[in-house]
């Protein structure tokens, strides 16, 4: 019975990790400062364990100093560790082959003067109606997956309780059979939830790929209409005037060209070619006809 509880606890934890949105970043980990006093500092919010009361206080060993690394070599390779007071080791001298002669090249054309535009992609995606539809549909599917996982976990706990209540009336073979049945159910459910989560992620990627493809073409179209030959992300520019910003124009054109995208049905994997579903090809013609041969015709060997 302890085996059932442990296995179900591990399975519930695996399902909870599977349903987390992208996985939370690890927090509260210890961190180490190179070149410091060699001690490991605890993360914020965590305290070192207090010394036991009443017992003799032990003297801590002196902390060992970490020797700094030697200066890096000419190709970025770190040198060997040396004592702090030791003189730096001289770098090795290499005899390089003769430097190649640079041939003359023809004078190239001078690039045109830069006409710059800026845009914010996050703002465009928030204003995109197709992206809003993807967020709504994919969010509903993830919520449904989470609800089904919670129902399955509740069913595992009910089966556990039933087995505990019936333990006195079952033989050892019957108990092992029920434990094996519960284990198989948990394993199958974990596999199904992993597959469903993978299909949901692929559907989101497939849908967003359609927006990304059209967005690149729309940015080029808007830039050419305004004579711009260089478009930068807004977060890469420290200062600009409003006349340079084409975010609203790109968002309006994107909604006009691509008001919606093709989202695979729930539980259906997207096609192998990410853009094949938008323009499906006709099915191939049958190789041979399945109609019966005409009367009097000789059968084929």
pLDDT tens digits for range 139-166: 999 999 999 999 999 999 999 998 889 8
Q: What are phi and psi of 202, to 5 degrees?
A: -65, -35
User: CA nearest 152: which of 184, 186, 196, 200?
Assistant: 186
Instruction: Quote the DSSP letter at residue 201.
Output: H
- What does the angle CA 218 – CA 250 – CA 216 come to, to the nearest 5 degrees? 30
Residue 191 maps to a domain: yes
- Residue 83 domain flag: no
The per-residue pLDDT for 252 is 96
- Residue whose token pair is 């099915």: 283
Domain of residue 245 covers 116-257
- Dump pLDDT digits (tens) for 170-220: 899 998 998 999 999 999 999 999 999 999 999 999 999 999 999 999 999
Residue 288 lies in a domain: no
pLDDT in tens, 88-121: 777 778 888 999 999 999 999 999 999 999 999 9
Report pTM: 0.56
Point out the least confidently predicted range of 34-38, 43-47, 213-217, 259-263: 34-38
Name the helix (H) or strand (E) containing 209: helix 172-225
Total domains in the chain come to 1
User: What angle do helix axes 129-165 and 2-19 make, rounded to 10 degrees?
Assistant: 180
Q: Calculate ∠ Cα 265-196-281, nearest 5°.
A: 35
* Residue pointed to by tokens 């400062």: 33
- Asked whether residue 234 is assigned to any structural domain, the reply reads yes
Which CATH number is 131's domain given?
3.30.910
Are the CB atoms for 156 and 10 separated by under 8 Å?
A: no
Is the residue at 172 inside a domain?
yes
């Amino acid at each position: 019975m302890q085996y059932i509880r442990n296995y179900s606890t591990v399975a519930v934890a695996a399902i909870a990790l599977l349903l987390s949105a992208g996985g939370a970043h690890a927090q509260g980990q210890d961190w180490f400062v190179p070149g410091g006093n060699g001690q490991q500092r605890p993360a914020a919010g965590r305290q070192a364990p207090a010394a036991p009361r009443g017992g003799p206080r032990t003297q801590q060993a002196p902390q060992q100093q970490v020797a700094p690394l030697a200066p890096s070599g000419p190709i970025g390779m770190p040198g060997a560790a040396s004592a702090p007071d030791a003189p730096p080791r001289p770098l090795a001298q290499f005899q390089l082959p003769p430097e190649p002669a640079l041939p003359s090249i023809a004078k190239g054309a001078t690039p045109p003067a830069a006409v710059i535009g800026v845009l914010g992609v996050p703002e465009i995606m928030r204003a995109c109606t197709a992206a809003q539809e993807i967020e709504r549909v994919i969010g509903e599917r993830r919520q449904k997956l989470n609800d089904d996982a919670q129902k399955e976990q509740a069913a595992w706990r009910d089966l556990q309780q039933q087995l505990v209540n019936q333990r006195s009336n079952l033989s050892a073979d019957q108990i092992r059979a029920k434990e094996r049945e519960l284990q198989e159910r948990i394993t199958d459910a974990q596999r199904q939830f992993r597959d469903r989560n993978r299909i949901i992620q692929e559907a989101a990627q497939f849908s967003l790929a359609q927006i990304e493809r059209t967005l690149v073409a729309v940015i080029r179209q808007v830039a050419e209409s305004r004579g711009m030959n260089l478009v930068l992300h807004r977060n890469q520019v420290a200062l600009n005037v409003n006349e340079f910003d084409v975010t609203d124009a790109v968002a309006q054109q994107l909604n006009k060209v691509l008001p919606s995208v093709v989202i695979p049905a729930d539980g259906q994997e997207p096609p192998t070619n990410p853009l094949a579903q938008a323009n499906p090809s006709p099915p191939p013609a049958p190789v041979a006809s399945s109609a019966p041969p005409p009367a009097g015709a000789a059968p084929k060997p």
